[in-house]
Structures are given as structure tokens and as C-alpha cells.
Amino acid sequence: MAKYKRILLKLSGESLMGEKQYGIDEKRLAEYAEQIKEIHEQGIQIGIVIGGGNIFRGLSGASKGFDRVKGDQMGMLATVINSLALSSALVATEVKARVLTAVRMEPIGEFYSKWKAIECMENGEVVIMSAGTGNPFFTTDTGSSLRGIEIEADVMLKGTRVDGIYTADPEKDPTATKFDDITYDEVLKRGLKVMDLTATCMCKENNLPIVVFDMDTVGNLKKVISGEEIGTLVHN
């Protein structure tokens, strides 16, 4: 039995690189599409937000002299490229997918609205919501929090390269210990980098729980959906 009826799945752009140094790893993309197909066949309504860090990150662009607004707009376009790639991979597995964009760019994608997204999900389509919030100075973490709240998702599933939230970065600190679950207040108090501050506060205020888990291990998405206690649950 599935634990959730409607989810917001947040994927990182960096994860799409797979073994590569830049861009999109077709093997990783296909693995993601298969995992999403698996839960889609259970009747789960799926909204997806993907980052763009594998192509361009606005903040790092600003540190190299780019105008911050233009840099963030380039980052938004990077998320659209990733969204089109995932949508193509899903359609190849015979899952209906639709790309909605926060910035008008028909015919690449339809302009996002909450009601369009919900209607598509209720009709059995996977909805990929791209271009962040459509505004500079907001990350795709904030974009996914906003979309998760708007589409009335039961949970945000944050697929990352690590298997949950730790007291410190486990890739740098071997003594870091993992939380099975943690409150938003504790995340904020400890200054843990789960998501940026705006995104974390939005989820807290709107009572949207987050599960942070390792999406790169095939089969984990289905385990989270079925209620297996992998990853870390963040809640009020």
C-alpha cells in the first residue's frame, strides 16, 4: 500500500550528471524514469521539480561576474532543459508527462498554474514544473516548496546523493551521524543545510513534511512511497 496519494519529487540537477562532469547522463536519466514509472503505476499523482546545477547555477555565475538576475534566469533555463530531458525519458517508458514552465515559453512548455498542474496529475500525467518560481533570487528548493504547497502534495520527497540528513556533511566528516527524523525547528536551530532557509520556513509554515533520501540507489523511491523508513523525515 502506498503511504502517499500525491507527491512533489525534488531532483537535483547535479544527480543527473551521473558519472559525467557536466550535463546529463542518459543512464541516470533512464534509471530515474524507471523509478518514477514504478510509482506512477501504483496510481500515485506525481509533480516534479528539477534543479539546474548540472548545466548552470545562478549563484556560482554571480560569483564569476555575471549579473545575478541574468545568472538566475540562465539557471531557470537550465531547469527547463533538464525537465524536457526527463519528460522525454518518461514518454519513452510510456508514461504521459507534461512540462509546465514558470516563465512563458510556449511551445516548449505550457505556462504553469496550480489548476493546470492538478488537472494533469488527476488525469494520470506526471507533471514536471520547470523554471523555478520564475523569479531571480529564489532557488529550485524554494520553487519545489512553493509548488509542493500549491499542488497540495502530501509530502515533498527530496532525492539527493546522500541517504538522509546528518549532523555534518558525511562526505567530509566520518563522525557525522544520521537523523531518522527531525523537526523543522531543530533543522533551523542547528543550521543544517537541508534546503535553503526560505524553502525550509515555507514547508514549516505550511506543514509540508519532507523526506530526504538517496534517489541514486535504484528502488529507493518505491521504498519511500510504501512507507519504508529510509532517509530522514522532516516535520513540525
Residue ranges for the known binding site for ATP are 10-13, 53, 57, 160, 166, 169
User: Of 158, 165, 173, 149, which Cα lies nearest the Cα of 216?
Assistant: 158
The answer to whether 158 and 24 have CB atoms below 8 angstroms apart is: no
For 94, half-sphere exposure in the C-beta direction (CA atoms, 13 angstrom radius) is 2
Annotated binding site for UMP: 52, 72, 133-140
CA-nearest of 91, 206, 230 to 144 is 206
Whether 5 contacts 45, CB under 8 Å: yes
In angstroms, the first-to-last Cα distance of the chain is: 25
- Contacts of residue 51, Cβ cutoff 8 Å, sequence gap at least 6: 10, 11, 12, 13, 14, 79, 82, 140
- Tell me, what DSSP letter sits at residue 109? B
